[in-house]
Structure 1
Amino acid sequence: MAKTPRIPIPPEVRNYVFERDRYQCKSCGKTKLDTQLTIDHIIPLARGGQNDISNLQTLCLPCNQQKQHNLDPRFRRHFSN
């Protein structure tokens, strides 16, 4: 599986994802009032994920750091390790 090149996420896309996800971490539920939020690739680029908006989610910094380049457990059943 080829790694997808990382590109900068434009501010308007970041804002769209934050608004779509209601400024809430998709993993633990913390909001922007509780923690620093980041944009994460659901299927990591290293595992063939795309830079498509449907592959982006809002995660808080601790959840994003914990996930690293691993697959989100909610999507793991669709991929072999």
Structure 2
Amino acid sequence: MSKIPRIRIPPEVRQYVFQRDKLQCQSCGKTGLETDLTIDHIIPLARGGQNDMSNLHTLCFECNRRKTDQLDARFRRHFGI
């Protein structure tokens, strides 16, 4: 499995993902009013994930840092991994 190169996520894609996820961390549920939110790859690029909107979700800074390059077990069933 080769790593997909990281690309900068365009502002309009970031805005779309934030709106789709209702400005809420998809791991702990905190909102943008409670914490800083980031965009994260569900399947990390280091594990063969794509730079695709369907592979992006909103996480708070703390959850993103804790996740590192691991797969979130809650998403495994959705992606068959």
* TM > 0.5: yes
Q: Using the alignment, how far apart are the partners of 1:14 and 1:8 within structure 2? A: 10
Q: Using the alignment, how far apart are the partners of 1:4 and 1:32 within structure 2? A: 29
Q: Using the alignment, how far apart are the partners of 1:40 and 1:72 within structure 2? A: 11
Shift of 1:42: 0.1
Q: What is the match of residue 69 of structure 2?
A: 69
Number of aligned residue pairs: 79
Q: Using the alignment, how far apart are the partners of 2:33 and 2:69 within structure 1? A: 26
**Which structure 1 segments of 5+ residues have no match?**
none
Percentage identity across paired residues of the two chains: 71
**Which structure 2 segments of 5+ residues have no match?**
none
**Structure 1 length as normaliser, TM-score?**
0.93
Q: Using the alignment, how far apart are the partners of 1:42 and 1:6 within structure 2? A: 14
CA RMSD of aligned residues (A): 0.9
Letter in 2 for 1:56: L
Q: What is the match of residue 26 of structure 1?
A: 26
Q: What is the match of residue 16 of structure 2?
A: 16
1:10-51 per-position Cα deviation (integer Å, ceiling 9, x unaligned): 000000000000000000000000000000000000000000
Letter in 1 for 2:28: C
Letter in 2 for 1:72: D
